[in-house]
Each structure stands twice: as structure tokens, then as C-alpha cells.
Structure 1
Amino acid sequence: MTDMANTPSTTSASPLAAISAAGVSIWLDDLSRDAIESGDLAELIAERHVVGVTTNPTIFAGALADGTAYDAQLRELAAAGASTEEAVLTLTTDDVRAACDLFRPTFDATGGKDGRVSIEVDPRLARDTDGTIEAAHRLWNTVDRPNLCVKIPATKEGLPAITAATAAGISVNVTLIFSLDRYRAVAQAYVDGLEQAHQAGIDLTTIHSVASVFLSRIDAKVDAALEQAGTPEAMALRGRAAIAGARLCYEVFEEIFSTPRFGALAAEGAHRQRPLWASTSTKDPDYPDTMYVDELVVADVVNTMPRKTLAAAHDHSRATGADAVHGTYDDSRQVLDALVRHGVPYEKILTDLEDAGVASFEKSWAELLETVTAGLRAAG
């Protein structure tokens, strides 16, 4: 199993092979100690073209609450007198460090582009710039692996933290991006950080970043507004908002990372911040379960898939590897303009989704703390 994990299979007839060959990096949106220790994650690397993994507070809360994989370490932490916060940091960063080691061959083979493992800063800091910067440094130093990505939310307060972390040489996965304007601000924050890193003498070749654009949550809210409108024209727009927005984010990606400003950084070894398609499991059962995979195949992006989406894409994705993004920009703008004409409060929906995303991760973090507190108490 270990040898198989070194490189993805190139002989599979799975649609994932075509998607990967088209330049889409397939990352798994799931991580647990059991998946690492059982060989399950290694098998996905070998057989499903998985070249990275992302986590978030909800994933960690579920992993800690499920099964007994963490019981022994909880007993050790309880015996050492660890606080809940200390235990959470140790448990989560140990998992991420182990996953980084598992993905290290991929990291080396891709020159650091993939083989990445993401861990999120405490979501309670989403509106605290200084606290986020401090937490990013703590996670980076604790995991101590070059293929780590620290997840920072794309809140207004998160933008300067993205710049500061990048300037310090930390690779960042920017999360919870919903709007095109915020995507543009995130990309600019990254470029600002690269310039500061270069001025500080940091090797730009060591810094990588992705910008996570969330998808299915947008369609769930926009579709509800379209259904209230109820006209045939409005109903025809269902399921189109998220993909249109993502495609326009890719247009901005091409624009920003082809400027002379970034060109000067690229000459020093800087990497483009790749768009990452997140929240890729469809919420509406009427939609194809691989919709956010099939419609967003294009070079130099990441698609992070929950296990069910990964399995569905392996089994029956319609993607052939053909570019599904270039040539769609005008149509995508027309879709977003039509939403507004039909009374959809599109910008407000995106703002509300950011707030809801932060609140959801805060709730999951509270559940994680409660689970670890109970585990420490039981172990003691």
C-alpha cells in the first residue's frame, strides 16, 4: 500500500484520469486518523488520482466523535494535564502532519504544487486579523511540514491576514469565498504578500496558495429565490449561479496572474494562486451529483471533493477532460445579470453565505471542543 501511494495510477479508465490529465488537481475533502492508519487514504492516492486533502472544523469534529482512533492519545493528553485547547491543537496537527508525510512523494513529484494538506485556523478568529495571523504561524510551526496549507477565511478581516501569512512564507488556502469581488480581493492580497515576501528575501518558489470558491451553497440559496419568482424564465436559471460565478472567478484569475506586476514576481519564482472549487456536493437531488466537477474542468485548478462526490466522479462523471470554462464568460455574465432582473438578491445572498459559513464552522469548533473535553474527562 505504501509503494502504491507514491504516484497516482495512470492506467485507470476512471473519468478521474481524464479530469486529472486536463490539469485539475483532485483533492479529498475529508481527513481522519482512521483513514490514515487503515491505508484508506493511501489507496485513494493510488487509485483515485487524489493529490491533496482539505480539512475544516466540521470534518475534525466528525472524526473525533466517531470511533476510538483517538482514545489512546486522549488518555496520554489527560495524564499530561493538557487543556482542551492544547489537546485539540495536538490531535488535529498530528493528523495533518501524518497526512503531509503520506503526501510527501506527491509534493516532491509536483514541485510543491500538490501533495498539500490544509488545516484551518480557529474559526472564532474569522473577524480578528491579528489573532488569525498568530494562529496561522502557530499551525505552520506546529505541523512543521513544507506541504502544509493554512486555511484562512476570506472575510474582510482575513484579507490582511492572507497578505501577512504569505509575506512570512506560509502557504495559504483561502476559504469561504463566495463573491467575485471577494475572489479578486483575495488574489490581490496574495500578490501583496508575495511582494512583501520577496522584499524580505524569502524564496518565492516555496510559497503556494489556493483560493477556495464555494459552490453548492450558492445554488441552494439562489434557487430558493428563483422558485419564489416562479416564472419559467426564473426557473430556467436554477442551478446555474454557482458555476457562472466560478467561471468568472477563473477569468479574473487569468487576468490578475498575467499582469506585468505578477510577471515580475513570477520571474523570481512565484506561483499563481490556483482557484479551488469547494462545496462540490450537490444539495439538490435533481442535479447530477458530479455537476460541480463536470462543468468546471480547466487547467490549473483544484477540485476538492467529499468522498461521495469523489466516488460518483470515479463512477460516472461526464467529464472527458475537455475545457469547460474558456468561452463561457459572456454567458456566465448574462446568467448573473438575469438573476438580478428576476429579483434575486444575489449580492446579499453571498454576504449572508459568508456569515453563515463562519457561524457553521464556529458551531463545529464548539462541538469539537465539547468532544475533546468529554474525552479528556473520561480518560482522566
Structure 2
Amino acid sequence: MTTRPRPKHSDALYQLTAEGVGLWLDDYHRGRLTDGSLERLVADGLVGGVVSRPAAVARAMSGTTAYRDQLNRLSSATPSMEERVYALIAEDARAACTALEPVFRATQGMHGWVSLGIEPRLTADAEAMLNHSRRLAEMVDRPNVLIRIPAVGRGLAAAGELLAHRVGVHVTSVFSVQRYAEAVDTYFRGLERVMADGHAASAVTSLVSLDIGHLDTSVNALLDGSADPCAAALHGQAGVVTARLVYRRYEESLGCPHWRSLVADGARPQRLLWTSENARESPRTALDRVERLIAWMTLHALPQSALEALVRREGFHGDTLSGEHGSACRALDAFERAGIVLDSLARDLEAAAVERERAAWDELLTAVQAG
């Protein structure tokens, strides 16, 4: 892999690397390729993965000319708007996979992944999600691609089938420990099926993301309306509390006999990705969230503006998640005294996340039709 001089003022980056934390680009679109910014971020060690989101692609279609040539070709050859969308995002992912291939090879598949999603209205139909996902993975045709599947409806059933077919899965719309535990079980069962078919467990990869930004925003709004005198002190704490509980469950999953039997065949941990899909979030807010969510083998998805601001940051304070299970449990009790049960709220947050994905997909369909 080509090396470049160490970016100036990058102590924060090297501290995160020392803590086993990886960084992903969360607002990837084709414009990041044409202007060379993705290549620079990868070469400077700032980015080890990317997330392609419909909303970011739709914004880029109106703000750049990066998609013009392909849109012109598709408009005459592909009448279906949905097929045009899949062709666009598959081309984006293929190019990103190529840009990240040196990272993927150098880390033996631990880093260098590209995540992209399917049409979000399929969540009630596991077979349709499976078929669309496999077809999209075949269109990209790269070893370092992950298909994004929401953990709602029939999502986890589809995720299990994809894993069994050795397609990498990025599980989304997770806002609680219970749902995360279900995602872990799905991964373990998928690995078992891969091994039963005669393949090594290392042939499949998965990660689970938690949208910490929307979790905090939703709970903060409820706290603002609470009469509990301690509610103000809980403001901005829901995300980190949930993350601490989920990370404890992650540690437990890697310490159980079931996992030890899988890792003996080369299984990779199902990594945790912290993110915020709030497009208006400032770089400072994003990096403050990183500060509160540092732990070994975790990932952060950040917009380009936050990644560029990170190299100017003085540094972080080490692991902030491990060993915090007790304080998180006490915070759960405080939330309940304020009238907020985080596990119950998680279902509403899951539904809202899927609705946001549907709205973003519709926005992209409209942009493709206009283009």
C-alpha cells in the first residue's frame, strides 16, 4: 500500500488507532472519487471503510456532475427507475471497493469494507431482501462489499440467509441491547451454516451499527418535557448509556464457549459501528461523540468534515466504554425515574429509522428521474 507523510497534528488519529478504533466515511458519494478526497483520506490513514447512503448520493446528484454521464447512458438503456438507482449505487460501491482494496488486503479483511443498502420497503419480505441483496452484491462483484439490512421486520431472517450464502452484512436500525443480542445470534447461526457447507468461517463478515445521534435527539426531546428534577442531568446521555450496555454484551459474546468454537475456525468478530445519520451535525459534535465511545475493535462512521477536523484535534482520553456497565445500569434507573424506558423507546426508533431510509430512497429515485 502506498504510504504518504503523516498528516500534521494527527495525535488524535494515532490515539484512536492505538485503542483499536477504526474510522469510516459516512457521507460517501461519487464526488468523493472525482475530487480525489476519498483517495487522500485512505492514503492518510483516516478512512478504513465507507458507507454509501441514498441521501448523500441524492445530494451529490444535484450538487456535482459526477453522475451525469452514467445517468445519460441509463436513461436510454434502463427504463426502470429502481434499476437505474441500483446501477448507480453499485458503480459507486465498486469504485470505493477498489479504492479501499489496499486496506482490505493489508489488514486481511479486517478493514477496507464498503456498505450499501437495498430498497427499504422490502423489510416485511425476507426472500425479497435476500434476492435484491444477492443481486446487488453480484453487480458490485468485489470481495469487500457489505449489504445493509435493517434489524426490523424480516430483516434479521434475511441477514441470516445472506450470511449463510457468504454475503457480508451490515445490520442497521439497532437501538437496544435486546436487538443487538438478536443480531449477534443471527451472525453466529450464519457462521455455523457457512461451516456446515464446508467453508471457513473467515469467508463471511458482519457489523452492527447504532445511530447514536438519533437516539440522543429522541430521548433529549422527551427529557425536555419531563417533570423529574434530574432530567436535565440525563440530557445527551442516552446514546452513551446504550453504547456501554451494548459493548458489554459484545464483550460477553466474545467470551462465550459458542464464540470460541467459531473463532477456532477463523471467525471474525461482528464489529460495532457508532454513527449519527443527522446530516446537520457539526464536526465538533461528531468528534465529541467519538470521545465518549472509544473501545477496542469498534468503528466510527463520520462525515468528511469531521474526519478533516479530527487531524486538528489535540487528542482523546483513551477507552471510555470498557468497565462502565455499572454506571450505565444506574443511568438506566435514572431514565426510568424520569419516565423514559429506553428499551421500549427502541421500537419507535427502529420504525423511525426505516421511515428515514424510505424517504431517502424516494429522494434518490426522484433525483434519478430528474437527471
TM over 0.5: yes
Percent identity between the two aligned chains? 35
Alignment root-mean-square deviation, CA: 2.0
Q: Say whether residues 1:272 and 2:263 are aligned partners.
A: no
- Distance in 2 (CA, whole Å) between partners of 1:57 and 1:11 is 30
User: Which residue does 1:151 correspond to in 2?
Assistant: 148
Tell me if the contact between 1:140 and 1:148 (Cα under 8 Å) persists in the aligned partners: yes
Alignment equivalent of 2:65, drawn from 56, 63, 68:
68
Alignment equivalent of 1:333, drawn from 329, 336, 345:
329
Deviations 1:170-226 (A, max 9, x none): 111111111111011011111110001111112321211111011011111111111
User: Which residue does 1:207 correspond to in 2?
Assistant: 204
Deviations 1:320-370 (A, max 9, x none): 4x1111121100111112101111243332211111110111011111111
User: Which residue does 1:16 correspond to in 2?
Assistant: 13
User: Which residue does 1:298 correspond to in 2?
Assistant: 295
Q: CA deviation at 1:309?
A: 2.7
Alignment equivalent of 1:362, drawn from 351, 358, 367:
358
Task: Call closer, same or farther: CA 1:107–1:177 in 2, change over 3 Å.
Answer: same
Tell me if the contact between 1:9 and 1:47 (Cα under 8 Å) persists in the aligned partners: yes
Alignment equivalent of 1:95, drawn from 92, 96, 113:
92
- Distance in 1 (CA, whole Å) between partners of 2:182 and 2:341 is 21
Alignment equivalent of 2:238, drawn from 229, 238, 241:
241
Tell me if the contact between 1:7 and 1:45 (Cα under 8 Å) persists in the aligned partners: no
Task: Call closer, same or farther: CA 1:292–1:198 in 2, change over 3 Å.
Answer: same
Q: How many residues align?
A: 369
Stretch deviating more after TM superposition (304-313 or 135-144): 304-313
Q: Say whether residues 1:346 and 2:350 are aligned partners.
A: no
SS of equivalent residue, structure 1 residue 93:
helix
- Distance in 1 (CA, whole Å) between partners of 2:13 and 2:23 is 8
User: Which residue does 2:216 correspond to in 1?
Assistant: 219
Tell me if the contact between 1:282 and 1:291 (Cα under 8 Å) persists in the aligned partners: no
| Equivalent AA in structure 2 for residue 366 of structure 1 | D
User: Which residue does 2:164 correspond to in 1?
Assistant: 167
- Distance in 1 (CA, whole Å) between partners of 2:305 and 2:330 is 32
Deviations 1:123-155 (A, max 9, x none): 111222111111111111110100101111111
- Distance in 2 (CA, whole Å) between partners of 1:242 and 1:294 is 13
Q: CA deviation at 1:80?
A: 2.0
Stretch deviating more after TM superposition (37-46 or 345-354): 345-354
Q: CA deviation at 1:279?
A: 1.0
User: Which residue does 2:81 correspond to in 1?
Assistant: 84
SS of equivalent residue, structure 1 residue 257:
helix
SS of equivalent residue, structure 2 residue 98:
helix
SS of equivalent residue, structure 2 residue 230:
helix
SS of equivalent residue, structure 1 residue 290:
helix
- Distance in 1 (CA, whole Å) between partners of 2:231 and 2:13 is 33
Q: Say whether residues 1:55 and 2:67 are aligned partners.
A: no
Tell me if the contact between 1:280 and 1:305 (Cα under 8 Å) persists in the aligned partners: no
Tell me if the contact between 1:290 and 1:313 (Cα under 8 Å) persists in the aligned partners: yes
Q: Say whether residues 1:25 and 2:25 are aligned partners.
A: no
Tell me if the contact between 2:7 and 2:44 (Cα under 8 Å) persists in the aligned partners: no
- Distance in 2 (CA, whole Å) between partners of 1:8 and 1:238 is 42
- Distance in 2 (CA, whole Å) between partners of 1:43 and 1:226 is 41
Task: Call closer, same or farther: CA 1:11–1:362 in 2, change over 3 Å.
Answer: closer
User: Which residue does 1:378 correspond to in 2?
Assistant: none
| Equivalent AA in structure 2 for residue 347 of structure 1 | D
| Equivalent AA in structure 1 for residue 115 of structure 2 | S
User: Which 4+ runs in 1 deviate beyond 3 A?
Assistant: 6-13, 280-285
Tell me if the contact between 1:26 and 1:52 (Cα under 8 Å) persists in the aligned partners: yes
- Distance in 2 (CA, whole Å) between partners of 1:337 and 1:240 is 13
Alignment equivalent of 1:372, drawn from 354, 365, 368:
368
Task: Call closer, same or farther: CA 1:210–1:9 in 2, change over 3 Å.
Answer: farther
Deviations 1:59-97 (A, max 9, x none): 222222322211111111123244212211111100100
User: Which residue does 2:33 correspond to in 1?
Assistant: 36
SS of equivalent residue, structure 1 residue 30:
strand
Alignment equivalent of 2:113, drawn from 112, 116, 120:
116
Q: CA deviation at 1:314?
A: 2.8
Q: Which runs of 5+ in 1 are unaligned?
A: 376-380
